[in-house]
Chain A
Amino acid sequence: MPPSQPGGPGWYVLLFVGTAGLAGAITLLFHVMRSVMDVGGSCGSNGQYRYAVPCPDGVAGATLLAIFGGLVSLAVTAMAAWRTHTRSIVMLAWPALFISLGVNFLQYGISPPDGSGVEIGLLVCGVVFELMGGVPLLIAASIWRDRRKARSRPDAQLAQPAHAVAVSSPVSSRWVPTPGPLPSGPIDAGAPRPSGIADAPVVGDSATRSADGDDDPRLVERLQQLAELHRRGELTDAEFSAAKRAVLSEDS
């Protein structure tokens, strides 16, 4: 459960530093991997033995820095995102790592540095890495898209307080929200109309028109109510436009 109050500016600085560190660690690993693959894909250094393929300069230090720096950055980013009530991008670190390293496998598999033609083994590794990074990314994107759709769907507002239910069907329903105290609590679509929701005549009914045939002032009132709900963010742009069109067309 996130803290009730967002953290101060210091946490945003840490969010920046952690994110930069995370991106830097993955980038460093990317460069280290390419460097090692340039010398055949494996190397050794800093031991008491003589290695057939010594590691290029900087590989050992950069690898340690990338691994431990990346872990620290991961923790800092997660903590700062939590403190600032921000959607964390920590989960993107996994896809970023595997997709970037997979690119190296694929590139070196297609054109190895020794010019020996396509290396099937490296290509297989590349495909596996891309799948390991890409599949979770696609799943996360799908979940994120579904949540966005669910939030913007009118029936999703059934789970909202009662005043939002009336908002979800402002044109077909005979209910309109009132500016007075709003009811709250779970909504049962089949339940009787909650209190606080006025039963307003539908624009276009005979009751909405005055004796001389002019539009009833309640048309203006309904449009104002829709505009107010839209201003408060309880109606999306699309819902507001559709509702306004429907109200006007009913009146015409």
Chain B
Amino acid sequence: MTTARRWYLWALYVVAIGAGIVGATALWDALSG
């Protein structure tokens, strides 16, 4: 695995996890009123 691909995957996972957490929190705020 090249260094560039490793960094790309790290960025993908970090951004995806961050997006998931932020999105789910926003969804919960909407659902719970």
Looking at chain A's contact residues, the main secondary structure is: helix
Contacts of A61 in B (CB 8 A): 31
Contact partner, A57, options B17, B19, B32, Cβ 8 Å = B32
Looking at chain B's contact residues, the main secondary structure is: helix
With contacts A20-B20, A24-B23 taken as known, whether A62 is within 8 angstroms of B9 at the C-beta atoms is no
With contacts A20-B17, A24-B21 taken as known, whether A57 is within 8 angstroms of B31 at the C-beta atoms is yes
> A122 on the interface (CB 8 Å rule)?
no
With contacts A35-B32, A57-B31, A62-B28 taken as known, whether A27 is within 8 angstroms of B12 at the C-beta atoms is no
Q: Which A-chain residue is minimally distant from B29 (CB atoms)?
A: A31
CB contacts between A and B, total, < 8 Å? 64
Contacts of B13 in A (CB 8 A): 19, 89
28 contacts between A and B (CB under 8 A): A12-B12, A15-B16, A16-B16, A19-B17, A19-B20, A22-B20, A23-B18, A23-B20, A24-B20, A24-B21, A24-B27, A25-B20, A25-B24, A27-B20, A27-B24, A27-B25, A27-B28, A28-B27, A31-B24, A32-B28, A57-B32, A58-B28, A58-B32, A58-B33, A62-B27, A62-B31, A62-B32, A89-B13
